[in-house]
């Protein structure tokens, strides 16, 4: 198998979302080349769980999130949500399914139509699906706006640009809530916000999650933020998954060399702690021609010959802790594959 494996998938009864071998490719102009944005990712999220997805810019986090929503449909792979396969669904069925999962985007301002009133924006999902009477809808919208801390009166009179970034993010959260979804995919919802506003939004998400029993997929490049909100974290590099573990476990005992790098890059708000750096040089390689074998081998401090030749598969090295690395920081080297490694990058 050419992916990084599915060993980490659980066979629990209350699995809400299960993604297997998701591949998304974009053509590069008319050159015949393609951007390997996501190359065989597998994930699962249980009901009520928060899955964090971290990685550098361009590693395919947003593409994964959008492919789960089928916007656009993935090149290949399977996405099963609430027990139903989304990739083979027809247009109308898919529209219906999308009401059960929602997405919040990074740029709070550009995710709201600049030419409409905020209240109408939040009302839109109810209008599309013609839910309830006009009075029911009004009531619902007001309730949700109150819940996220936006004055409904002001929302009726104002356009998005009249609100601050943090408020716009609350408005998009309100919009994603009115249809009562079971899962929300948050694509870097706090990256564009100030630290203090970021804390408000993270707290709000935690509160709403508890109140509505939501399941979250939380995408971010900041490991500290992801750790704060997630139960389980998947680390991505160049379209592949490197490591999956419970969030406390991942921080305590990172096994993949790339996770180590990410962790040591976090600025520590305490000058008395001397940070132990694992600096990496250079930039991530182009996703058009990704390196063969382990995609991280061009920058990995522990790379050996085997890393360039053979792609590591995800394997369990601890309770619920999975890593795709031949020579991880801990957990023992991967057994040499019995089959000859014909796996392509």
Ligand X SMILES: Nc1ncnc2c1ncn2[C@@H]1O[C@H](COP(=O)(O)OP(=O)(O)OP(=O)(O)O)[C@@H](O)[C@H]1O
By CB under 8 A, the residues from 183 to 202 that bind other proteins are 194-200, 202
Q: How far is the CB of 121 from ligand X (least distance, A)?
A: 23
Q: Is 219 helix (H, G, I), strand (E, B) or coil?
A: strand
Site string for other proteins, 278-297 (x = CB under 8 A): -xx-xx--------------
Question: C-alpha distances in angstroms, 338 versus 45, 76, 313, 329?
Answer: 31, 27, 13, 23
Confirm if 169 and 202 have CB atoms less than 8 A apart. no
Given the rule CB under 5 A, which of 61-69, 74-82, 123-131, 240-248 is the region that contacts Mg ion? 61-69
Residue found by looking up tokens 């947003």 in the block: 62
Which among ligand SF4, other proteins, ligand X, none contacts residue 312 (Cβ within 5 to 8 A by kind)?
Answer: ligand SF4
Size of the site for other proteins (CB under 8 A): 79
> CA–CA separation, 145 vs 63, rounded Å?
29
Query: Percentage helix, strand, coil, to 5, in the chain?
Result: 30, 20, 45
Given the rule CB under 8 A, which of 9-17, 104-112, 133-141, 288-296 is the region that contacts other proteins? 104-112
Query: Which phi-psi region, left, alpha or beta, contains residue 233 (left: φ > 0; alpha: ψ -120 to 50)?
Result: beta
Nearer to ligand X by Cβ, of 153 and 286: the residue is: 286
Nearer to other proteins by Cβ, of 305 and 319: the residue is: 319
Residue 292 CB neighbours (<10 A):
16
Interactions with other proteins, residue window 145-164 (CB under 8 A): 149-151, 164
**324 is a site residue for other proteins (CB under 8 A):** no
Nearer to ligand X by Cβ, of 35 and 185: the residue is: 35
Nearer to ligand X by Cβ, of 221 and 240: the residue is: 221
- Contact residues toward ligand X (CB under 6 A) are 26, 35, 37, 55, 57-63, 221, 287
Confirm if 16 and 217 have CB atoms less than 8 A apart. no
**Residue 1: half-sphere exposure toward Cβ, Cα within 13 Å:** 16
> CA–CA separation, 49 vs 222, rounded Å?
19
Binding region for Mg ion (CB under 5 A): 62
């Amino acid at each position: 198998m050419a992916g990084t494996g599915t060993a980490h998938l659980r066979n629990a009864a209350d699995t809400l979302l299960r993604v297997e071998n998701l591949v998304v490719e974009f053509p590069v102009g008319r050159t015949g080349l393609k951007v390997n944005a996501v190359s065989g990712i597998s994930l699962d999220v249980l009901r009520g769980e928060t899955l964090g997805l971290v990685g550098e810019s361009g590693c395919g986090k947003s593409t994964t999130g959008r492919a789960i929503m089928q916007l656009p449909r993935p090149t290949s792979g399977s996405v099963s949500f609430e027990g139903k396969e989304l990739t083979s669904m027809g247009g109308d069925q898919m529209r219906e399914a999308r009401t059960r999962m929602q997405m919040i985007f990074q740029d709070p301002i550009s995710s709201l139509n600049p030419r409409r009133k905020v209240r109408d924006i939040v009302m839109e999902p109810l209008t599309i699906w013609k839910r309830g009477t006009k009075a029911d809808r009004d009531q619902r919208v007001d309730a949700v706006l109150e819940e996220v801390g936006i004055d409904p009166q002001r929302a009726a009179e104002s356009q998005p640009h009249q609100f601050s970034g943090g408020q716009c993010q609350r408005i998009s959260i309100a919009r994603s809530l009115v249809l009562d979804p079971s899962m929300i995919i948050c694509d870097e919802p706090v990256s564009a916000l100030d630290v203090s506003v970021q804390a408000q939004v993270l707290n709000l998400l935690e509160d709403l999650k508890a109140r509505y029993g939501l399941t979250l997929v939380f995408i971010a490049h900041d490991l500290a933020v992801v750790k704060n909100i997630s139960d389980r974290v998947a680390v991505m590099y160049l379209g592949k998954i490197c490591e999956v573990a419970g969030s406390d476990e991942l921080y305590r005992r990172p096994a993949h060399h790339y996770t180590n790098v990410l962790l040591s890059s976090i600025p520590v708000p305490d000058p008395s702690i001397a940070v132990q750096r694992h600096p990496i040089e250079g930039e991530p390689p182009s996703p058009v021609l990704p390196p063969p074998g382990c995609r991280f081998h061009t920058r990995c401090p522990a790379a050996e010959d085997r890393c360039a030749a053979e792609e590591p598969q995800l394997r369990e090295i601890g309770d619920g802790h999975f890593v795709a690395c031949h020579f991880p920081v801990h957990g023992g080297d991967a057994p040499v594959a019995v089959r000859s490694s014909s796996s392509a990058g």
